[in-house]
Amino acid sequence: MDVIWRDRPELRAPVMVCALRGWNDAGEAASAAVSFINDRFESNEVARLDPEEFYDFTAVRPTVRLTEGMTREIDWPLNTVCTAPVPGAEGDLVTFRGVEPSLRWRRFTENVVSVARELNVRKVITIGALLADVPHTRPVSITGIASDDGLLRRLGYDRTSYEGPTGIVGVLHHAFAEAGLPSASLWASVPHYVAAAPNPKVALALVRAFEGAAGVVVDASELEEAAADYERQVTAAVASDPEVKAFVERLESAVDEVEADSDSEQSLPSADAIASDFQRFLRQRGPES
């Protein structure tokens, strides 16, 4: 059996969020975002996928470490399912974190879908990050796809027009939709000229996108500080190289032109939508806030 269960907790209409390291995780932003979300709640591991059937261990190698300076332990590629109660929110939380498999993608996705069904997940959010011609000085661009157009419109994200090779995150989103589970896939753009990983600014943008899609409030003050430090450090590095600085300025101009054209066509969200989001925020924060 590929899924190894440790517990099957009773959850309140849970939302599931998924990210996997690998091709869909530029700057390790998506996996960092889900790890951050998982760590902000009282989460417990309830299941994991046996890696034996899904990895070429010459490509995705296990690692060895010393425990207490003497005993050697082998760490295999992990795909873990955690759950957490979210008081004040509409439902609880399920997180799925892992590594893009080398083999048997359809069987892998069938296992993840079966986990979602076993835990009575009502909505799935997959997140990813891709390298793009975007400047680090501008807000992170988020695009998405959804199992139905109404869901994407409610989330307020632009529909991606991407066509081409996909990774396991795209395959997972398709599998959830085929299984009849409402699902959204949110994608962030990562500046291709910054090699630092994880990228906290993009991770923060994905956490905020998850909040709106899941109706869950995440205390991200720590990540906000890391994102601000990241932007200052990258800006200082760019300023020290005239060629890179000129390149970034060209990217800024191109993005500003596109956003100016887009803003002229967009309308503000309705008062009802703003009020609904604010009420949800207050409910989850509780009376002490």
At residue 17, does pLDDT exceed 70?
yes
Hey, what are 58's tokens? Answer: 């010459």
Per-residue pLDDT at 227: 95
CA atoms within 13 Å, Cβ hemisphere of 190: 26
Identify residue 27 by its one-letter amino acid code: G
Look at 66 and 210; give whichever has higher pLDDT. 210
Hey, what are 59's tokens? Answer: 């490509």
Look at 20 and 146; give whichever has higher pLDDT. 20
pLDDT in tens, 219-277: 999 999 999 999 999 999 999 999 999 999 999 999 888 777 665 544 444 444 444 55
Per-residue pLDDT at 231: 93
The region that residue 122 occupies, defined by phi over 0 for left and psi between -120 and 50 for alpha, beta otherwise, is alpha
> Between β-strands 123-132 and 63-67, what pairing exists: parallel, antiparallel or unpaired?
unpaired
pLDDT in tens, 80-100: 999 999 988 899 999 999 999
CA 65 vs. chain centroid, Å, equals: 28
C-alpha distance from residue 256 to each of 69, 220, 253 (Å)? 54, 27, 5
pLDDT band for position 29 (50/70/90)?
very high
CATH number listed for the domain at residues 3-285: 3.40.50.10900
- Mean of the per-residue pLDDT values for the chain? 88
Per-residue pLDDT at 129: 95
SS3 call for 4: strand
Domain coordinates in residue numbering, the chain: 3-285
User: Across residues 272-287, what is the average pLDDT?
Assistant: 52
Return the percentage of the chain with pLDDT > 70, whole number: 88
Residue with tokens 């009773």: 10
Q: Where is average pLDDT lowest: 52-56, 69-73, 248-252?
A: 69-73
At residue 152, does pLDDT exceed 80?
no
Per-residue pLDDT at 186: 93
Look at 223 and 289; give whichever has higher pLDDT. 223
CA atoms within 13 Å, Cβ hemisphere of 101: 22
3-state secondary structure 227-256: HHHHHHHHHHHHHCCHHHHHHHHHHHHHHH
CA distance 185 to 125: 6
> Between β-strands 123-132 and 15-21, what pairing exists: parallel, antiparallel or unpaired?
parallel
Q: Where is average pLDDT lowest: 47-56, 186-195, 223-232, 274-283?
A: 274-283
pTM to 2 decimal places: 0.86
Secondary structure letter of residue 23 according to DSSP: T
pLDDT band for position 288 (50/70/90)?
low
Per-residue pLDDT at 128: 95
Per-residue pLDDT at 267: 45
> Between β-strands 63-67 and 142-146, what pairing exists: parallel, antiparallel or unpaired?
unpaired
